[in-house]
Every structure is written in structure tokens, then in C-alpha cells.
Amino acid sequence: GVAMAKSKFEYVRDFEADDTCLPQCWVVVRLDGRNFHRFAEKHNFAKPNDSRALHLMNKCAQTVMEELEDIVIAYGQSDEYSFVFRRKSNWFKRRASKFMTHVASQFASSYVFYWKDYFEDQPLLYPPGFDGRVVVYPSNQTLKDYLSWRQADCHINNLYNTVFWALIQQSGLTPVQAKDRLQGTLAADKNEILFSEFKINYNNEPLMYRKGTVLIWQKVDEVTTKEVKLPAEMEGKKMAVTRTRTKPVLLHCDIIGDAFWKEHPEILY
Ligand code: ATP
Ligand code: ATP
Ligand code: MG
Ligand code: MG
Ligand code: MG
Ligand code: MG
């Protein structure tokens, strides 16, 4: 293009800080809903898990993966989502602020845009926001451990919340009483309370609640109907056409063990 004439003000650009992410490293952007404890209450989220809200989060994450470049895997639970950019990505010259702000704004606008598809009878009462952070991981092991950390967090919180809300909703305890009852209990104790008092086998709770959601690119067959052009005698007829597309696919599987990474070696190639 034509070189722009520089004004005498141009020097202020030099005040911009360099925030290039270290080369050859995994770049992770994690978003988290701002004050979603309140947001969930105001919008009548089911407790402990509102599946509409989780499906909406997943839809936003799929949109982020499709709209932005170079995301190889994403993991979400509760009001948070992590996005991993491939090691060799040179998107926006690896500037951390570009990664983070594009992810956060695309996610937040998608949350509002798709709200009504998931919350049919619940109006959106105010504009939600998301914070973002960037963390750079230098090895496959540290990246796997990061994702394991988020999934372990999902498990710990969900086990706690499942018992906590059963005590409130089914035993009539107040939140303070439920909290006191769970003070100092271990995972085994919580499983035991669930089973003996509520006949709930925690392992039969929905996978999306227990494991969160993993998004990876996979080939899927897409069936569309197309108007037939030829031959002439079939003019105007419609027929099913199958074509293969690569899409962000939702999984609710374990990513802490080795099995997932052995099954999908292409993610961390
Ligand atoms: P902060 O702004 O510091 O993140 P926060 O209120 O969002 O504050 P978090 O630790 O992020 O705090 O917790 C998110 C809260 O949002 C949960 O504790 C829960 O109350 C609510 N929440 C998020 N997703 C869901 C869901 N799918 N179903 C029910 N509640 C949810
Ligand atoms: P990038 O993603 O790199 O920012 P961009 O297409 O947004 O790409 P900008 O340099 O930010 O490029 O320019 C924004 C463009 O958006 C303008 O060149 C113009 O074409 C269009 N635009 C923005 N605001 C208006 C407006 N109020 N009226 C008409 N056009 C606008
Ligand atoms: Mg937070
Ligand atoms: Mg939050
Ligand atoms: Mg959170
Ligand atoms: Mg622009």
C-alpha cells in the first residue's frame, strides 16, 4: 500500500509495551464470568448446574474457535473457559493483549447474541462481562497439567456443590447449615452422604457436570440439501449432499489421564 505520512505525534506509539508471548510455547487464554454468582441468581440459574448456561458457554467457545485463528483445544466448566493457541501460532505476532481481548470480546458478544437460543423464557437483564488472562506454558507437560488442574477444580467444586444443594433442596438445610455440615469432609465422605441420604451415585451424575467440556477439532459429515441442477429431468428436485467439515466438537471426557492424549496425538504434535 501507499506509505502514510507520519505526523509529529507518531512518537507516542513507542510508549506501547511489548507483550509478545515467548516463542515455541503454548499460549492459554482463560476467561471467567464477572460476578457470575450474582448473574446466576438474577437469571434464575438452576442449582448447582444450569445446563442451559453450560450449553451457552459451549456455544460461545465454539464460536471463538471458529472465528479466531490457531486454537487447538478449549476446556470449559462453570463460568470459565480456557483456550489454547498452537505453539507455532504467529497470530497478531503473538501479542498477548490481542489474543486475550479478541477471545474475551468474541466470547462476550456471542454470549449475548446466542442467549435467547438457550434461555427461551428468561430475558437477559443486563450485559455480562468476562475477565481474561494469558498464561504461557513452555512444555507439553505443563500444558497438560494446566488442563488437568482446571478439570480437577471442576470435579472438586461439582462434588461439593452436588452435596451442598442436595442438603438444601432435599433435606431443607439452610446454606449456612449445609456449609457447616460439609466442613472438613473428604471426597469419600461427600460420596457417602450423597449415596446414603439421597440415593445419589455421584458417578451417575451427568458427565458435562463432572468433567466439564473439552472442544477439539474433528472431521464431521455434514448433510445438507441442495437443489439439483443436472440432469434436466431432475431440475428443481432436492437431494441430500454429504460433505466433510472440520468443526469444534464437544467432549465430556477425562483429560487428566494419558488415554485422552494418546487418542488425540495431533493436538500437541
Ligand atoms: P468473579 O467475578 O470473581 O469471577 P464470580 O461470582 O463469577 O466472581 P466464580 O468463582 O467465578 O465467582 O464462580 C462462578 C459462580 O457462578 C458459581 O459459583 C455459581 O454460583 C455461578 N454459576 C456459573 N455457572 C453456573 C451454572 N452453569 N449453573 C449454576 N450456577 C453457575
Ligand atoms: P482490524 O481487525 O485490523 O482492526 P479493520 O477492518 O477493523 O481491521 P481498521 O483500521 O480498524 O480496520 O478500520 C476500521 C474500518 O471500519 C474503517 O476503515 C471503516 O471502513 C470501517 N468503519 C469503522 N467505523 C465506521 C463508521 N462509523 N462509519 C463507516 N465506516 C466505519
Ligand atoms: Mg474469578
Ligand atoms: Mg466468575
Ligand atoms: Mg469462575
Ligand atoms: Mg478495526
Phi, psi for 48 (deg, rounded to 5): -85, -15
Per-residue pLDDT tens digits for 110-168: 999 999 999 999 999 999 999 999 999 999 999 999 999 999 999 999 999 999 999 99
Exposure string over 58-93, b if 16+ CB within 10 A, otherwise e:
bbbbbbbbeebebbbbbbbbbbbbbbbbbbebebee
Measured from the Cα of 51, ligand 1's closest atom is 27
Is this prediction's pTM over 0.90?
yes
Q: Which ligand is nearest to the CA of 157?
A: 1
- Local confidence band at 239 (pLDDT 50, 70, 90 cut-offs): confident
Q: Which ligand is nearest to the CA of 39?
A: 1
Check whether 105 is labelled as a binding-site residue.
Answer: no
Cα(80) to centroid(ligand 1), Å: 8
Per-residue pLDDT tens digits for 37-55: 999 999 999 999 999 999 9
35 close to ligand 1 (CB < 6 Angstrom): yes
Q: Are 210 and 158 in contact (CB under 8 A)?
A: yes
Length of the chain: 269
Provide ipTM, 2 decimals. Answer: 0.95
Closest CA to 155 of 72, 252, 249: 252
CB proximity list for 61: less than 8 A, separation 6 or greater:
74, 76, 81, 83, 107, 213, 215, 248
212 close to ligand 1 (CB < 6 Angstrom): no
Check whether 37 is labelled as a binding-site residue.
Answer: yes
- The protein residue with its alpha carbon nearest to ligand 1, atom 27, reads 50
73 close to ligand 1 (CB < 6 Angstrom): no
- Mean of pLDDT values over 14-18: 96
**223 to 137, 172, 248: CA distances (angstroms):** 39, 49, 17
Cα(80) to centroid(ligand 5), Å: 5
